């Protein structure tokens, strides 16, 4: 039987100064998930879950119709796990 990872095994809270850095840039919900820094960002027509964030940008993002859908998807991803979040309308990058 395959052992299932707990959310606490996949998610790591970032130090306060690092969270503040990303929040000052307009991101929210920033955590380390599956070894990558992820967070939420509002765009003109969508809201995205950004993956692989660092000081220079991010690797890719999952787009959602609005902030509520993106927030809910990020929470589900944290709880349920997997390689990517569910319910996105487009993956960019």
Domain-wise residue ranges, the chain = 7-92
Render pLDDT for 1-33 as a digit per residue (tens, 0 to 9).
444 556 667 899 999 999 999 999 999 999 999
For residue 91, give every residue at least 6 positions away whose Cβ sits within 8 Å of its Cβ, in sequence order, or none.
60, 61, 62, 63, 84
Q: Is 71 exposed, middle or buried (0-12, 13-18, 19+ CB in 10 A)?
A: middle
- Residue 2: its pLDDT value, please? 46
- Residue 5: its pLDDT value, please? 54
Render pLDDT for 48-62 as a digit per residue (tens, 0 to 9).
999 999 999 999 999
- Residue 3: its pLDDT value, please? 47
Residue 76 has pLDDT above 60, yes or no: yes
């Amino acid at each position: 039987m395959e052992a299932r990872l707990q959310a606490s095994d996949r998610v790591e809270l970032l130090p306060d100064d690092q969270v503040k850095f990303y929040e000052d840039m307009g991101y929210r919900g920033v955590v380390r998930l599956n070894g990558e820094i992820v967070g939420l960002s509002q765009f003109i027509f969508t809201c995205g879950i950004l993956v692989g964030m660092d000081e220079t940008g991010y690797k890719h993002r999952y787009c959602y119709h609005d902030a509520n859908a993106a927030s809910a998807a990020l929470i589900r991803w944290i709880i349920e796990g997997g390689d990517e979040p569910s319910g996105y309308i487009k993956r960019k990058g």
